[in-house]
């Protein structure tokens, strides 16, 4: 999740970086902030390859906020 989030933010900011990453402290701060706001749940679960991994999932509040922020309103430009 760290690399995915870092890559997305680099792309959105226009920063060209071959290996975008966050410091672990920044990554955990973002994760804790999203949890504190009730937007995500974090679980340590089995992966499809048999290992274990940290998975983020949206809560109902997170899903609702995402929809309100990302929905294209009728009559507006994207």
| Average pLDDT for 13-31 | 80
Q: Is residue 43 part of a domain?
A: yes
* DSSP-assigned letter for residue 73: P
CA separation, residue 23 to residues 3, 6, 8, 9, 20 (Å)? 10, 10, 15, 14, 10
CA separation, residue 51 to residues 1, 46, 76 (Å)? 16, 6, 45
CA 75, chain centre distance (Å): 28
| Residue pLDDT, tens place only, 36-77 | 999 999 999 999 999 999 999 999 999 999 999 988 888 766
pLDDT on residue 3: 79
Q: What is the pTM of this model?
A: 0.70
How far apart, in whole angstroms, are the C-alpha atoms of residue 22 and residue 32? 15
pLDDT on residue 73: 82
Q: Which domain holds residue 35?
A: 2-70
Q: Is residue 78 part of a domain?
A: no
Q: Is residue 75 part of a domain?
A: no
């Amino acid at each position: 999740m760290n690399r995915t989030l870092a890559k997305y933010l680099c792309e959105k900011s226009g920063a060209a970086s071959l290996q975008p990453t966050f410091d672990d402290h920044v990554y955990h701060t973002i994760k804790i902030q999203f949890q504190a706001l009730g937007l995500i749940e974090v679980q340590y679960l089995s992966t499809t390859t048999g290992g274990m991994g940290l998975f983020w999932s949206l809560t109902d509040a997170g899903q609702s906020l995402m929809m309100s922020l990302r929905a294209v309103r009728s009559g507006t430009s994207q």
